[in-house]
Structure formats: structure tokens, C-alpha cells
Structure 1
């Protein structure tokens, strides 16, 4: 599909950082914006900074609030042609055995279940509308490798977001695209400012990724330095398979997709 411009977009985590920067970039192109975030002046101020934008308080970790956001969005916008499940928080730092399990579960409530809740609340309605649309979930460079030490909870949640996104792609019809946004280091308030300010400016980041959203890319990327880190994981993985995995006469004998495909063909 050639570049498409969504008439409407709902962006969670929209009061600041990547969400707000993407909202501004889209609004400048003519997309009508609904920003969702925790209630408060920051959300209201963000909405006031974009002509015609509306604000909807929402804690994405609560499915009932995500469902209320969906109802409000379709009522206000008519259609939702882009859903950006972007809300997230920084995770606890420390060695795994030092982390309080309740803190880790609370982190997953936002960074994983918040994305799941957004998909759950919006996907069926987006399927039922005829307009081409897209669901993008904000993953991370940490979906592919460990960008820093002692970030296990955050890294695990971001790996989960990538897996969820890849799976939901297969649940959706052709007119509803799904993709993952893979930010590298961007200056947001997800971590301490004294550290985060070394990252890319959010408005610069938005200018890089919005054209990819409009091109309906599967993976929306930015920081080329990520390629080196991805290779550091993938190359040893492939090497291990080459050296250690038994070779079958038919290498597809135990491939789940090949077997399912064969079963479907035989039942036709």
C-alpha cells in the first residue's frame, strides 16, 4: 500500500515524550488526535498544545479504562485509523533476585498488559470499520537485546510486546495493519534526566518514524547502532543451530508452520 494518512489517531502515553512528539507530527499532516494518559494537568496541557486534539484520561493497566477509551475515541473521532499503544514506564533496576516480585508484576501491568489491553479494546472495532487502519505497539531496542545491565523486568516486558505484536498481525485482516515501533535511546522522562538527556530528541525521533508509520512498515526503526547489538545475539544463535541442531532429511519435519500448512492442504 502506498503511503496513507490516518484521519484519526489515538495515542496512549500521549502526554509527553515519544507519544506527544508523534502526535504533533501527525497533527501537522492533518490527522485528528486523541491523547490518552494518566489524568492531570500534563495531559490537558499536551492536548491544548495541538490544534483540535482531545484528551482522555486512561490508566492502560486497567482493561475497563482501556475499553472506556475505545468507546470515547470512536464516539469523538468516528473512526480510529491509527492506534498507538505507547504508554510505558521505566522498570526497576537491580539483579533479578533483588527485585520485589510485586514491583515486577506491577511493571508488566503497564508495559505489557497495557499494550494487550489496548489491542483488546480497539482491535475488533478497527476490524469492523472499512477504513484502512493500523495498530502500532511501542516496543524497544530492548525487544532484541539488553541495552543496559540490571534491567531484566523492563527488557522482558519489551520482548513480550514484540511477541504480542508479531502474533496479532496474523489475527487481523488485510485492511488492519500491525507493527512494532522500536525506539533506541530517546530523551524522554522514562528514566532519570541526567542519563536520558544523552538520547535523541523526541521531535527528531518523531520525524524519523512517522514516515515509516505512514508507509505501514512492520518494524519502525531509528538508531542504526542497534544493528550491531542485534547481530551480537542473532549470529551466535544461528551459529549454534548450524553446529548443534540435528539435520533431518526433511528439515521441515518438525516445523510447526510446515506441519499446520500440510494439514490444512490435506483437509481442503
Structure 2
């Protein structure tokens, strides 16, 4: 993927990772449209981007509201004639609490923004991309929390990122090949959301520069933070251990495998349809 002269829409683009993507992609020649809920921060961000010679615009938008997202898409296509890339970066956290004591209303709000907001943008922009029939890309910004529980007492946030992993994997299975799907996996990166770490996170531009190189290489996962594999391996070794002990592989064990069964059903249906034609 070449971002030069591409129209890129970035949700949650006024600060942190979203702003860094806007700046670095803009420096590669992209035309960027950033969104967010705070008008003052959007105005500040676009002013800063223009100082960096970035072709930048903004639109106030709450990605958890479908009407806002529809207006965003209409505005982006009117502004640029077409959109080439959507980066779903908008996200929020919630106060730490044990799972049993967590405020479920706050957790629902986290899901509305982090998961359903992303899914809404995927639907609205994805339909336009498919209708246009031209190469385009959707990148969802997930988290290391897609793969393991990175932050204690954060079940609502972690669950929203686990859900994004599942949705994004499903998305790449059921969209045309000309629509590239990617999942960006930040670890601990400097941002307003992570200010509790007191500057121990990866510098934001360093993270986004590494992610962009993988995005340009059409990777599905864009990753950093190598130590994450320690936590990922711990989780999956536990899963593997359970299967090895209680459900070990054996000949014919695909008899009840759902993907194998569905694949056979689809192949049979296609064969019947071809025979009828």
C-alpha cells in the first residue's frame, strides 16, 4: 500500500495514536480527515497538522452514533471524491475495578465506543468501499488486550478488545479481496489514555511508524512490543495443555469440527447449484 495522495479517515484522530497516524501518513502525502467528539481538540490538532504541512481536515463525530458516521462518510466522499483508507482508532477506557464490582453501565459505554462504534464505521464505510469496487483498506486499532489480559481490573476494556479481534477476523473472511483488512495491535504507548504509566510507554510516533511499515506491506496484524509473546504463549500453552490432556487429537476427530462441516455443506450446495445450471 502506498499512502501518497490517498484519502484517509481516522476516528479518534485528535490526540495520541490517532493524531500520530494523521501526522506520519500526512507526511507521506496522504490527505487526512480526523474525527472526534471534542471540537476544541480537533481544531488544535488540525492546526498542528497544518504546521507540519499535512493536508488535514476535521469533522466532529461520535462514532458510537450511526447518524454521525453516515454524515462522516458523506462528508469524506464529498471532500475527496473517494476514500481509500479508514483507520478506526476511537476508543475509551473505564475506571479500574474487580470484574464482580465493575460498573456495567460504564462497560456498556466502553463497548458502544470501542466495539460497536468500530463495527458501525466498518459497516458504513465498508459498504461504500465494496460498492466502489476499488482497492481500499480498513484498519481497526485493537490492543495487546486482544490477545491476553494486559491490564488488571479492566474486564470491560479487555472484553471490548477481545471482541474487536473476533469481529475483524470475521470481516476479512467475508469481504472482497480488493478490500484489505488489518488489525493494529498497540502495546503500552504514550497517550492520554495511558497517562497513568508516567511516560514509560513506547513513544507514540515510534509505534505508529512501525505499524505503518506493516500496513504498507499489507499485513493483517501490525504489531510491536515483542515481550507480548510471553503472555500470548502463557495463555495458549494453558489451552494446549487442556486439549492435550482431555481432548487429544485422533484420527477422524474432524467429524464434529464446525468449520469442516460448514465447508462440506457449502461445497455440496455449490455442486448442486452447478448441476442445476
TM-score under structure 2 length normalisation: 0.92
Match of 1:187 among 182, 185, 190: 190
Alignment partner of 2:96: what SS?
coil
Say which structure, 1 or 2, has more relative contact order (CA 8 Å, 6+ apart): 1
Aligned ranges for residues 38-187 of structure 1 at < 5 Å?
38-50=37-49, 51-187=54-190
Deviation at 1:262, TM superposition (A): 1.2
Out of 195-204 and 243-252, give the one that drifted further: 243-252
Mapping 1:23-38, distance limit 5 Å: 23-38=22-37
Secondary structure at the aligned position of 2:126 is classed as helix
Task: Rate the CA distance shift 1:227–1:247 in 2: closer, same or farther, 3 A.
Answer: closer
Partner SS, residue 35 of structure 1:
strand
The Cα of 1:104 is off from its aligned counterpart by: 1.2
Deviation at 1:264, TM superposition (A): 2.1
2:239 match: 237
2:198, 2:234 → 1: CA distance?
A: 24
Structure 1 partner of 2:213: 211
- SS of residue in 1 equivalent to 2:100: helix
Q: Secondary structure at the match of 1:253?
A: helix
Deviation at 1:159, TM superposition (A): 0.3
* Separation of aligned partners in 2, 1:211 and 1:90: 27
Normalising by structure 1, what TM-score?
0.95
Q: Decide whether aligned partners of structure 1 residues 19 and 128 sit closer, same or farther in structure 2, where only a CA change above 3 A counts.
A: same
Asked whether the 8 Å contact 1:61–1:109 carries over to 2, the reply is yes
Mapped to 2, the partners of 1:86 and 1:153 lie a distance apart of 17
Task: Determine if contact 2:30/2:55 at 8 Å carries over to the other structure.
Answer: no
Q: Partner residue of 1:19?
A: 18
Per the alignment, residue 5 of structure 1 pairs with 3
Between stretches 45-54 and 245-254, larger displacement belongs to 245-254
Q: What is the deviation of 1:136?
A: 0.7
In the alignment, the residues of structure 2 paired with residue 34 and residue 81 of structure 1 have an alpha-carbon distance, to the nearest angstrom, of 11
Partners of 1:188 and 1:196 within 8 A in 2 = no
